[in-house]
Structure 1
Amino acid sequence: MTNFDELIKKIVKPLVEYPEDVAIDHSESDRFYEYHLVTNPADVGRIIGKKGHVAQTIRTIVYSARVSGDKRVRLIIDDSKNKNS
């Protein structure tokens, strides 16, 4: 199976201003392997891109990688809008 952590980091790190702040958290459900991408708040716009085009391209690449079994991969970009800080 593909190492999705490394794949996501290889795509994202060249795009951001603070590559050392790129982190990936995992979770798993009955249907999905979820990868939560966390970046420096200053880099969120770079990852999402205008009208979400960069985020969609990243997801297309990640989703096209092979996964064993019936589960699918889901990439969630943490934009920190849902946090109560």
Structure 2
Amino acid sequence: MAETNIESLIRSLVTPLLKHPQALSITQHSDGRYHRYIIDTDPSDVGRLIGRQGHVAAALRTVVEGSQSRRANSKRVRLLINDHRH
């Protein structure tokens, strides 16, 4: 089975939600346990990514984490939305 390109998956899921898709940037950081993908976008679009009570963010995390292969030695994927308000 082919490996999923997580960054392109995130970009394809997030871009239709944004009013300013040109401001989207995704950075990856890896440590011992996780591959962290940090989403930065225009401050006015942050609420669109989080959604009411975090429902949109939870759905994005579910899809991204579910796309990962289930090998025992693979790192877990974490999706973080940079909230510029805090």
Fold shared per TM-score above 0.5: yes
Shift of 1:21: 0.8
| TM-score (structure 2 length as normaliser) | 0.89
User: Match for residue 49 of structure 2?
Assistant: 47
Taking the aligned partners of 1:57 and 1:21, their CA distance within structure 2 comes to 22
Taking the aligned partners of 1:18 and 1:47, their CA distance within structure 2 comes to 12
Structure 1, gaps ≥5 residues long: none
Structure 2, gaps ≥5 residues long: none
Moved more, 62-71 or 42-51: 62-71
> Over aligned residue pairs, what C-alpha RMSD do you find?
1.2
Identity %: 40
Residues matched between the structures, number: 82
| TM-score (structure 1 length as normaliser) | 0.90
Give, as a single letter, the amino acid of the residue that structure 2 aligns with 1:16.
L
User: Match for residue 38 of structure 2?
Assistant: 36
